[in-house]
């Protein structure tokens, strides 16, 4: 009997790959950049499993080209790169990697908040440009974090982990979350709040929403116009949650004070994107979950999902459990 073929779209931490290799015929994309869509399409024809990253588009056409596919395992908690409805229609379970990256991602959202509030990247540039001549009472003054009001949009695992950090900073925490129960919000020391009120009152607004058709451009010109001129927007969710053209205008006109973005639309952000010319916009390359330990755990989890799918077992973390209902 021929072995299950699995394509892994990038080099993962070795321990995870070694384990996967014991369960299938493994094909690992060894290049730094992702495989082109055309390559994925070609490989799809003979695959039983695909272990992919958020940079790989898995759409209806690709799924149609993969008649033997038993499992799709995404090494990410978000899965907006995958047409999950189509995978479900084809009975293919889709796995993701929730939980293991929660604290690391919340740490990073807070790091961005603090870096923007206290102007750390600007301060670093200031020194490198030879501008540090003396201690000065007003130079590079930022915003206090302690005691400020933080608005959290999306109160899932990562939003709640950000709230835990904010509590330690004595912040008032507001949250607007369509799915979140009031009990859970209050237990986390946060206050449920309407969207507009949250935007009006918050000194910091941190985004923790998945990207879906209903959250695309969730923050646009209207929402930005409600924010305080002293407010700072932090995005570690997905770039598409913000209307970037509207954000550029708001930052340029100083309608809000600053933004700190781990994610952009598209990724990578083109070097001629005007956001990169603004002093009040900090952009980093989608690294919120990038700690060595967390990336190892994510890889192991993605491998666990892949192995379970190859065996016809239920994936430990499955985003479309409805595929099992019909079995
Ligand atoms: C990263 O953005 C993830 O979804 O894991």
Rounded CA separation 191/214 (Å): 23
Rounded CA separation 283/247 (Å): 13
Ligand 1: nearest atom to the Cα of 78 = 4
Is the CB of 47 within 6 Å of ligand 1?
A: no
Q: Residue 177: its pLDDT value, please?
A: 83
* Bridge partners, residue 51, by sequence: 8, 73
List the one residue out of 71, 136, 45, 34 whose CA is nearest residue 318.
71
Residue 200 is encoded by which pair of tokens? 């009006």
**With 70 as the cut, is the pLDDT of residue 53 above it?**
yes
The mean pLDDT value for 130-141 works out to 97
Confidence of residue 208 (pLDDT cuts 50, 70, 90): very high
Ligand 1: nearest atom to the Cα of 236 = 2
* Known active-site residue 86: no
- Which residue's CA is the nearest one to ligand 1's atom 4? 78
Q: How many CA atoms lie within 13 A of 321 on its CB side?
A: 5
Token look-up 């690992």 returns: 28
Cα distances from 168 to residues 33, 141, 156, 183, 324, in angstroms, run: 39, 22, 19, 20, 42
- Which residue's CA is the nearest one to ligand 1's atom 5? 76
Q: Residue 1: its pLDDT value, please?
A: 47
Cα(77) to centroid(ligand 1), Å = 5
Confidence of residue 181 (pLDDT cuts 50, 70, 90): confident
Share of the chain above pLDDT 70, in %: 98
């Amino acid at each position: 009997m021929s072995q299950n073929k699995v394509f892994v779209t990038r080099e993962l931490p070795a321990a995870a790959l070694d384990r996967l290799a014991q369960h299938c015929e493994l094909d690992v994309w060894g290049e730094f950049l992702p495989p082109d869509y055309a390559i994925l399409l070609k490989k799809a024809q003979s695959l039983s499993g695909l272990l992919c990253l958020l940079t790989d588009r898995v759409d209806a056409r690709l799924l149609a080209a993969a008649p033997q596919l038993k499992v799709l395992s995404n090494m990410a908690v978000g899965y907006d790169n995958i047409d999950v409805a189509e995978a479900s229609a084809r009975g293919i379970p889709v796995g993701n990697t929730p939980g293991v990256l929660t604290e690391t991602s919340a740490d990073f959202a807070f790091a961005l908040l603090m870096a923007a509030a206290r102007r750390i990247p600007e301060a670093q540039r200031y020194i490198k440009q030879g501008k540090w001549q003396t201690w000065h009472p007003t130079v590079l003054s930022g915003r206090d974090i302690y005691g400020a009001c933080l608005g959290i949009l999306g109160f899932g695992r990562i939003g709640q982990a950000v709230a835990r950090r904010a509590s330690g900073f004595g912040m008032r925490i507001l949250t607007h979350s369509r799915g979140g129960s009031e009990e859970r919000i209050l237990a986390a020391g946060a206050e449920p709040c309407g969207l507009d009120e949250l935007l009006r009152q918050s000194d910091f607004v941190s985004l923790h929403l998945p990207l879906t058709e209903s959250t695309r451009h969730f923050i646009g010109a209207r929402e930005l116009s409600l924010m305080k001129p002293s407010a700072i927007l932090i995005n570690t969710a997905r770039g598409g949650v913000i209307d970037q053209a509207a954000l550029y205008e708001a930052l340029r006109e100083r309608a809000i004070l600053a933004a700190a973005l781990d994610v952009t639309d598209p990724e990578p952000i083109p070097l001629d994107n005007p956001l990169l010319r603004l002093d009040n916009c900090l952009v980093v390359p989608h690294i919120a979950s990038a700690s060595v330990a967390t990336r190892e755990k994510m890889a192991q989890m993605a491998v666990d999902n892949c192995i379970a799918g190859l065996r016809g077992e239920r994936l430990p973390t499955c985003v479309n459990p409805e595929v099992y209902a019909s079995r």
